[in-house]
Structure 1
Amino acid sequence: MNVRTLRAQLAQALRRAEGGERIVVTVGGRPVAQLGPVESDLDRSPTIEDLVARGLLIRARRDDRPEPSLVVPLWAGARLDRLLREIR
């Protein structure tokens, strides 16, 4: 949607954005902005990428991850003392 159309139809564009639609705003045919719904931080947990982008987290220099030493399947109603006994 170009800027002129956005100005003329701002209320309609805001209703569409509120409904979940993302609207790309163009200037001279080139995309320059995006209008869309606001994602609430309460709806989802931040990802590692989100935290890195905000400067709240610095990525590890090494990307090799140790393999988990032991995988224990859990089931509903399992007692912790019995699971620990199986592991030991």
Structure 2
Amino acid sequence: MTTGVEPDVPLARKRMLPQRYKVALLNWVSVYPLITLLLWVGEPITRRVPVYVTTLVLSLTLVCLLTFVVSPIMMRLFANWLQPGDEVSRDKAHLR
């Protein structure tokens, strides 16, 4: 199964990949609230442990949540926007 952002996967090469700025924007929109939530929830614990432990746990949690939960959901929700060529279709539909 591919999500459309794996440029080295042979199946992904057969179809057009989304533009990089769209993937970057979608990642940022996913990461910002998630990291804010993780920092807020983990704040009582992070005060008591060294910063390198906090960073290790936070980055591991963030990457796992993004990879297996958030990104697949966001890719499905924004699939139409991510697909190349949609701008042309939307522009033509808007002119009619």
- TM-score, structure 2 normalization: 0.23
User: Would you tell me which structure has more helix in proportion to its own residues?
Assistant: 2
Higher relative contact order (CA 8 A, sep 6+): 2
User: Would you tell me which structure has more strand in proportion to its own residues?
Assistant: 1
- TM-score, structure 1 normalization: 0.25
